Structures are given as C-alpha cells and as structure tokens.
C-alpha cells in the first residue's frame, strides 16, 4: 500500500506500507502497524506515487518491490528515483527508503523518472526480470517529449545509478509527447515469441 503524500518521514515525502500475507485478515488495521514502512527521504519526494512488484531481481528466491518517487531530488531537482526494495530490506519495521540499496535516478533535472514503472518479466533469458521505467518530462529529444527505459535485472547492483546507463531507451518524437506517462506490458502481441511493451504519451498529436 502506498501513500504518496504521507508525512510519515517528512512533509509529502510519501510512504509505502508492507503487510505480510499472514496479517491480511478481516477487520480494520491501522497502517502504522504494517510489517514494514518505507518513508520518503526529502520534502515532496512523493515516494509511492508508482508502486509494483518487481519479481526476484537479486536472485535470492524472494520477490522484490519497485517504488517510484517522480518528484525525488536525490540526484537533482525533480529528476525522480525508482527504489528497489529487496527481501533483505524488508526485515526492518520503519526505514528511510534511500537506505534500501539500489536506486535508479533520472538523467536530468525535471525528468520525473519513476512516474510510471512496470516489471517486464525475464526478457533476456537470464531468469532475472527486467524493469520498465517512464520519465515523461525528459527533454532529450524535444521539450517534454518524454522517455522510457528498460533496465535488465541482471545488470543491477547496490548504490545509485543514473538511467543514462539503462540497457535500452525510447524517446518521444515531438514536443510535449510525455512518453512514459504510463508504461506496461502487452504480452506477445505479434506472436514472435518475445514480450511486447506499451508506452503511453498523452500529449502525442500523431492523429
């Protein structure tokens, strides 16, 4: 469960609450009693504005969590950050999300990286899932054209990594496309034996 404007860490930093299956029962539960709470790092980070399961990204046999904080200033103003919470980081009751170990940050100020995120499953055959990340305000091609990144799970390591080193990327083709505003998996649409992806750009004027 996420609350992107939570003040659990600091004002509007956001928070993500992990509740184990054993504790999902009938009745009401106060989120402060969650098994683990991951709080945003700085004022206005909006951690948890995007949230999804990532599969087992570190090969330890346990699934991991992807958390987007598109307003994060970890590497620069509003560059955005995607945090990877592994099983090892799920053992502490309350923790600053910047301590989880692996962080993927936007390339440039104002990119909004992590506005959308999705797990792709295993694309490259190494049995480790890949990650799809949207940065809808990226200006690499045109102003606010947007950009989406594919990061191979097998290439991940602890620490802070710029999305400039992502394995693949796709940029919008016109001003204000906002490609990466939404991202998702489409299955194998063209029956070529490989998975396909969907990239949303609500500002595109192609028609």
Give the model's pLDDT for residue 188.
Answer: 83
Q: Rounded to two decimals, what is the model's pTM?
A: 0.91
Give the model's pLDDT for residue 32.
Answer: 79
**C-beta contacts of 194-198 below 8 A and 24+ residues apart:** 194/123, 195/120, 195/121, 195/123, 197/118, 197/120, 197/132, 197/148, 197/150
- Closest residue by Cα to residue 64 from 158, 162, 135, 150: 158
Give the model's pLDDT for residue 39.
Answer: 93
Of 9-18, 30-39, 103-112, 193-202, give the range with the top mean pLDDT. Answer: 103-112
Give the model's pLDDT for residue 26.
Answer: 61
Q: Cβ(113)–Cβ(107) under 8 Å? A: yes
Confidence of residue 27 (pLDDT cuts 50, 70, 90): low
Q: Give CA separation, 65 vs 17, 97, 106, in Å.
A: 11, 12, 19
Q: Indicate the burial class of 71 (C-beta count within 10 angstroms; 0-12, 13-18, 19 or more).
A: buried
pLDDT at 179 over 90: yes
Give the model's pLDDT for residue 91.
Answer: 65
DSSP secondary structure letters along 1-42: -EETT--SSSTT-BEEEE--GGG--SS---GGGSSEEEE-SS
Confidence of residue 45 (pLDDT cuts 50, 70, 90): very high
């Amino acid at each position: 469960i996420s609350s992107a404007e939570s003040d659990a860490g600091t004002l509007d930093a956001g928070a993500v609450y992990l509740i184990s299956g054993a504790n999902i029962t009938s009745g009401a539960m106060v989120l402060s009693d969650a098994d683990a709470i991951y709080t945003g790092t700085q004022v206005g980070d909006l951690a948890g504005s995007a949230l999804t399961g990532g599969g087992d990204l570190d090969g330890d046999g346990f699934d991991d969590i992807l958390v987007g904080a598109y307003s994060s200033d970890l590497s620069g103003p509003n560059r955005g950050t995607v945090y990877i919470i592994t099983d090892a980081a799920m053992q502490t009751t309350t923790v600053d999300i910047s301590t989880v170990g692996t962080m993927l940050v936007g390339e440039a100020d104002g990119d909004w990286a992590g506005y959308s995120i999705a797990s792709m499953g295993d694309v490259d055959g190494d049995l480790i899932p890949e990650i799809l990340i949207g940065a809808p305000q990226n200006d690499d091609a045109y102003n606010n054209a947007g950009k989406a990144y594919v990061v191979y799970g097998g290439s991940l390591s602890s620490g802070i990594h710029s999305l400039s080193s992502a394995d693949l990327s796709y940029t919008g083709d016109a001003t204000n496309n906002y490609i990466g505003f939404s991202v998702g998996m489409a299955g194998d649409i063209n029956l070529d034996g490989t998975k396909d992806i969907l990239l949303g750009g609500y500002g595109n004027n192609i028609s």
